[in-house]
Structure 1
Amino acid sequence: MADNINETEIIERLNSAPSVRGFFIAAVDVFNDSIDGLVQRIFRKDNFAVQSVVGPLLQDSGPLGDLSVRLKLLFGLGVLPDDIYHDIEDIIKLKNQLNSDASDYEFT
């Protein structure tokens, strides 16, 4: 997880994508890093008891390890506004569609 991703790094990651599919994969990776950072800030505390309970939930194999689950949690808690939540969900769906499509699309 990147602690703090700046705008320039995001633009570089997106610009380095070789195709439309690569662009959406990079975009979802940026969302994943950003959402992970937000969840970490909300739920990670210095208290050992809190860390021992919350830590396993946030690991990749834990129930909050999946991006879509973390998005739903943040949306349900009111941290993510409705329009942003739905935009990210749509981008994830588009990435998944492109991953299952045999064609490789290019930007013109």
Structure 2
Amino acid sequence: MPAAMARPTIIIDGQPCCTPPGSPTVSEADAAAYAAWFKALADPTRIRILNLLAQSSEPVCVCDITDQFPLGQPTISHHLKVLRDVRFVVAERRGTFMHYQVNQACLAELPEAARRILNV
């Protein structure tokens, strides 16, 4: 494999034409976590499920969530599992049904993640 070649510096009017971008300020571990969060949000149904759960101060039964969508309970459960895997929602079993609610601590971190990614 050939060695990496140094990028030539082009000087225009006594100034370099490009400013080096610097180094990423987000660690690889944080970048992986943020990517998982945004991947989980990359589905309109999951965004709507989060929106629905955010409106309730109490955990919501999966059967009540399913009633709000033109999808079957297994599909809704899959979407909830994706949201649960990245900690956007928490679940508790009540009898035979799972109840879900927004994980406020995790969602509070989301705006900070966007700020860190964009350096704002």
**TM-score (norm: length of structure 1):** 0.33
Give the structure, 1 or 2, with the largest relative contact order (CA under 8 Å, sep 6 or more): 1
**Which is richer in strand?**
2
In our comparison, the structure showing a higher alpha carbon Rg is 2
**TM-score (norm: length of structure 2):** 0.30
**Which is richer in helix?**
1
